[in-house]
Amino acid sequence: AIPDQTFATNDGPASLVFATTPDGTSEDEPQEHLRIYSDGEIKHSFTSNNSTVAEGLFINNMNNGTGNNASLIFSNDSGERKKASISYIDTGNYGTGDMIFCLDNDADSGELHVTNHERMRITKDGNVAIGYAGTSTIGTLLHIENGSGDAYIRCRASINKAILFNNSDGTA
């Protein structure tokens, strides 16, 4: 990392820059890939002409056991409490797994728990579960569950409101 400017004694840089010199380029012309600003904002930049392979920020938990997760964690708290996450949980062979969206709705100093605070899951098969408590198999495209009461789907509109169920040929 290099500072983006010269700074005085007892002062810090405005940001730190992480850059590389790709093959065939001069060491005098590094290409910036990551910048951390003095306020903590992070900017990740890259150039790609690849439209089929995922590229960008890569988060990898090298401990590849079933049940382990790799997470992007969020907080809006000065106490650095983890209160929300988007987590990828290993559920099978070769790193296959489910995407879990978690929210800790407890107004406390406790930490986010990716199992207890799960609010939505997208399975490796493409099924979506909302309110899933891990008590049943997610075998449908959309699975809505409430373990402690009713489960409703609400449709509101100023004119027409409906939930349509059609056959594959478009007929009702």
pLDDT digits (tens, 9 = 90+) for 36-46: 888 888 888 87
Residue 135 in this model has a pLDDT that exceeds 70: no
pLDDT score of 86: 93
Poorest-confidence range of 22-31, 79-88, 90-99, 160-169? Answer: 160-169
Helix, strand, coil percent values for the chain (each to nearest 5):
0, 30, 70
pLDDT score of 30: 82
CA neighbor of 4 nearest in space, from 43, 42, 46, 36: 36
Mean pLDDT calculated for residue range 108-120: 84
57, 60, 87 from 54: Cα distances, Å: 9, 14, 17
Mean pLDDT calculated for residue range 66-84: 84
